[in-house]
Every structure is written in C-alpha cells, then in structure tokens.
Amino acid sequence: MTYKILLSGDGGQGIQLVSDMLAQAAFANGFNISQIPNYGLEQRGGVSLSFLVISDQEIAYPRFTKPDILLIMSEQARIRTEKNKNGNLILDVQDYNKKLEENNIFVKSYNIFFLGRLTKILEEKGVLKKEDVFNLLEKKLSTKMNWEENKKTWELAIRN
Amino acid sequence: MKYNFVDNKNRKLMTGAEVCVQAAFDAEAKMMYGYPITPATEVFTGWIKRGGAYLQTEDEIAAGFAICGAILAGQKAFSATSGPGHILMQDAMSMAEGMRLPFVLIVGQRGGPSSGTVIYSQQEVILSCFGGNGEGLRLVYSPSSLKELYQLTRQAFNDAWQYRFPAIVLTDGYMLKTRGVVSLEELKIENIPPHQLVPEDKVTHWQNIYTFEDDLYYEINSAKEDFHKIADEIAKAEKYLTADAEILLVAHGIVGAVAKEAVQELRKVGIKAGMFRPITLRPFPKKELDKVCGWESVKKVVVIESALGQLARIVRDQLAPEIDVSFEYLQKPGLGIEVEEIVKFVNK
C-alpha cells in the first residue's frame, strides 16, 4: 500500500507545514515516508510544492507525477499541477471558498483547514491518528499568533 | 486495509544531507572546507549546526586546496558541492589524484551545463569519474538509498585513507533533499584512522610536478597498478533477478532504485527483466557486468539515466568487446525517471 500525496499552494501558505505534520504522524504510526519540497529558484512568491509518499513498503523514489491525493491551495498551484490531475482525489480551495467564508476562517489558517481535511481522509484509511496530528500542531503553533483561530479551523475541518 | 507496520525503534526521519553529516561525524572527520551551493548546502550548514569545525572559503578552488593541505597534515577533511562548484573542486581533486591524497567529496548532482538547474540530474558522472587532467584514478560511489548513502560515505572515508585515492560520494539533489526513514543504529562500521602524510621532524620534498616525462610516467603507472590491485575488492554492484533475465536494465544511484521497481512491474506482465546497478562507478564492477551480459539469456541491455549517455559511455567502455549484446537507452538529462516510464519504454 502506497499513498502519493502532492500538496501545492503559494509560497507562504504553509504547504510544507501541512506535509511535515502528515509525514510525522504517519511515521509515528509505523509507516515509511518520503518527503521532498520543490526547491527551485522561485521560492518567494512562487508555487510551493511538497511530494509526500506514505507506504508500508520501502520507498525507492520520492517524486511522482500521478498523485493519489492532490491539494491545490492557489490559482498558480492549479495551473502548475495541471499535469498531475488524473482521476485522483483533488482537494481544491475553490471548492471550499463558500464554506471557509461562511465560517469566517482566516486566510492564514487555510492550510490548517486542509491539514484537517487530509488528516480525516488519511485517518479513515488507517494511515495516521488525528490526535497525533493535533498534538504535533499544538506543539508547533500553540505559542504563536492566532492559535485560537487555527484551533477553531482544525475543529471545523475535522468535524465535517 | 491491512498494513505491514514497522517498529519505530531505531528508525529516524532524516534528510539525505543529514545522513551525510551523520556519516561524516561517525567517520571521525575533523574539518569541512566548503562553499555553499544548492543542493549540497545543507551538508555544510548541517555540519556547522552540529558543531563541526569548518571554514567557508572564497570559492570551491580554495576549499579544495585547503582540503589537500589539511590532509597532508593528517587531518580527515572533506567537502560537499554540486554542479559549477564541482567543476572548480576538480582542480584540487586532480592534485589529490596525482599526490594520492585521501580527499573525500560529497557531490549532489544538479542540472547542467553550467548553472543548469539547482535541482537534480545524473550529469556529473563523467566529471566525477574523469574530471581534471588525469586518468580517473579515484573512487566514485553511487548510493541509491539513504541507508546506502550513509554506508558509502563511511566507506569513502575508509577506502580513501586506506588506499590513498581521492573518493567521491556521488549523490543528487533529490537524494540530499528528501526526508525519509532510516535506521543507522545497526550499522557498525570501523574507522580507518587518519595518519600524518608528511613527517613533522624532517624536511620532505614531495612533488606534484615532475622535471622529466619518465618520472611522471613512472608515478602514473605505479598509481594505476595500485588502483587495479584494489579494483576487485572495491568494485561493487547490485544484481536483481539477473539469473534468467532477457532484458537487463542498467542504472545507478536513485535511478537504480527506480529500475529495480520497474523490474518487479515488468515481471508481473511476463517480461523477464533484471537489473544491474553499479554501486561503484570507479572502479567499475566490470567483471560482474561481463558475467551477467555474457549469459545467453540476455538479449538486450537498457541503460537508464538522467543524463545524455554518461553512464552508457562507461558501460560500453567497460563491457568486454567480445560480448555481443544490443543496447537501448532511456535518457532524460536533468529530469527524474519514474517506474511507469521505464515499464512503458521496455514494454513498447
């Protein structure tokens, strides 16, 4: 069993944080992981990608073009990942805009929302435990600004 | 869904760069000279963060010659570089080849020519094996996983100091930047201690330039003989399902790991594929390659690489001329290669 997850957004949206939390939680649950960011010349203002593989087998190679799950958090990212769409599960921010606005979710917390969504999906598959992800998140962000907002966002994403 | 969960005891999440740093510390390296360049920078910064002694020089030429100097004084010194930095480093690497200095260099291949990309390639194979004005009398290791990266980095230090040849651990941007799961605890490797190459108590004249052609000729021949003597011991390859293989995939480094998975996929659809992965590119595991390619079952050799024929050139050069086998090439200079691409290429 191998899950290939491609996370994409604008630099600064917190894509690498989402990837990091999922990777650590899956690893803590006994899986192999491999994780590689894009590290081209475009980091500031450009598209931020993270290639994450979670598997119960040895992982030979960190990159892929056909992810099982694709996260798109921005317009630029949508264009950049055009070639990666192939009947996979796609979480696209444009499909969630209404929900996010209705619930007054801070734009800065969007990554936490999608972290929650991905956690939910992966927990249903038995890949990780949501408590692990939340604990990692709390450790990382609870002393930083907007923790209450982030926590509220996380709860919304996990709940429904 | 049923999974094969793994016990996390002794397992760690580490990047390739962190693995290199760990290996350098465990090898008891004492000094790093370098100049930062993506994707090898984190080997340097990781070494510094963990308290390793270092000097950031004005460029890779200075770093390289600083290493030569430190080694002459008996210090285990090393560097890590990439692409254009690697080109500059070859100046000192050539001196190390001429003077038989145990110069250890970690290379993270990026795209070329010139600045190319900062990301990934397998285009520094010829540069690693034959860079500089010399004869390629150096050791070049090409790991395909984080664990092997650790083992071969340790081995590079050991072989360099034992046999006195410069050594390159040839890795790439993907491998250095990838975070994966490794368990290093069970790997017990003894260190070959460094020794002072120049005595402190008397004046020594140690040449790296010769007055007469014959003197240089003698030196090169003597180094060549030493190199050939250790070649069988150092040269290594991984062979996978080669016993009855009709199509032999040849790939090195991270592409070798991909080729191995491709063999599994090809076998599932009834194609008798096997894989030959040189773990050392210098000395090349020539005898093993001859043996595998010499079997009647092998109809075709497919050389796969993220370069335009650098590995292929070495493979054809090393294969015994009397072995009659046809070649095909899957070449993607500066681009990663996925399992599906290899399967499609072979199964066309």
Smallest Cα distance from B272 to chain A, Å: 21
**Smallest Cα distance from A14 to chain B, Å:** 18
Tokens of B287: 């005898």
pLDDT at B152: 98
- Rounded to a whole number of angstroms, the CA Rg of chain A reads 15
Q: What is the pLDDT of residue B199?
A: 84
A156 to chain B, closest Cα gap in Å: 27
Nearest CA in chain B to A124: B1
Extract the runs of DSSP E, i.e. beta strands, from chain B: 12-15, 31-34, 54-56, 77-81, 104-109, 139-141, 167-172, 179-182, 237-240, 247-250, 273-278, 280-282, 300-305, 326-331
Residues of A in contact with B39 (CB under 8 A): 39
A-B contacts at Cβ under 8 angstroms: 84
Residues of chain B with C-beta less than 8 angstroms from the C-beta of A24: 13
The pLDDT of residue A41 is 79
CB contact under 8 A, A125 and B1: yes
Put simply, the answer to whether A1 touches B7 (Cβ < 8 Å) is no
Which of B6, B11, B119 has its CB closest to that of A39? B119
Query: For A88-125, what is each residue's pLDDT tens digit?
Result: 899 999 999 999 999 999 999 999 999 999 999 999 99
Residues in A lying within 8 Å of B, measured between beta carbons: 1, 23-24, 27-41, 56-66, 125-126
Q: Most B CBs within 10 Å: which of A16, A61, A136, as the mutation test of the B interface?
A: A61
Supply the pLDDT for residue B348: 85
Nearest CB partner across the interface for B178, out of A24, A28, A36: A36
- CB-closest option in B7, B119, B258 to A60: B258
What tokens does B218 get? 């003698």
d(CA A139, CA A20): 13
Structure tokens at B284: 């090349």
Domain residue limits, chain B: 12-234, 238-346
The CATH number of domain B12-234 is 3.20.20.30: no
Tell me whether domains B12-234 and B238-346 share a fold: yes
Of A29, A61, A125, the CB nearest to B254: A61
- Residue A34 phi/psi, 5-degree rounding, is -140, 145
Question: What pLDDT, in 10s, does the model give residues B121-176?
Answer: 999 999 999 999 999 999 999 999 999 999 999 999 999 999 999 999 999 999 99
Q: Which of B122, B179, B265 to mutate to test the interface with A (most CBs of A within 10 A)?
A: B179
Residues of A in contact with B277 (CB under 8 A): none
Q: Angle A137-A142-A145 (CA atoms, 0-180°, nearest 5)? A: 115
What distance in Å separates residue A17's CA from the closest CA in chain B?
14
Which residue matches tokens 């119960």?
Answer: A56
Question: Per-residue pLDDT for chain B (348 aa), expressed as one digit of tens each?
Answer: 567 666 677 899 999 999 999 999 999 999 999 999 999 999 999 999 999 999 999 999 999 999 999 999 999 999 999 999 999 999 999 999 999 999 999 999 999 999 999 999 999 999 999 999 999 999 999 999 999 999 999 999 999 999 999 999 999 999 999 999 999 877 889 999 999 898 888 888 888 999 999 999 999 999 999 999 999 999 999 999 999 999 999 999 999 999 999 999 999 999 999 999 999 999 999 999 999 999 889 999 999 999 999 999 999 999 999 999 999 999 999 999 999 999 999 998
Q: Which residues of A touch B336 (CB under 8 A)?
A: 61, 63
Contacts of A10 (CB under 8 A, 6+ apart): A45, A46, A47, A48, A73, A74, A76, A77
Q: Is A157 exposed, middle or buried (0-12, 13-18, 19+ CB in 10 A)?
A: buried
Handedness of CA B275, B110, B116, B310 (dihedral sign): negative
Q: Which domains does chain A have, with CATH numbers?
A: 2-159 (3.40.920.10)
Q: Angle at which helices A147-159 and A110-124 pack, to 10 degrees?
A: 40
CATH of B238-346, one of 3.10.110.10, 3.40.1360.10, 3.40.190.80, 3.40.50.920: 3.40.50.920
Chunked into runs of 10 residues, chain A (160 residues) has average pLDDT values of 95 94 96 91 80 94 94 96 90 95 94 97 96 96 92 91
Nearest CA in chain A to B14: A34
Interchain pair A63, B145: CB under 8 A: no
Residues forming beta bridges with residue B79, ordered by sequence position: B105
CA distance B173 to chain A (A): 9
Nearest 5 degrees, angle CA B297-CA B303-CA B306? 160
A36 to chain B nearest CA, in Å? 5
Q: Closest approach of chain B CAs to the CA of A76, in angstroms?
A: 20
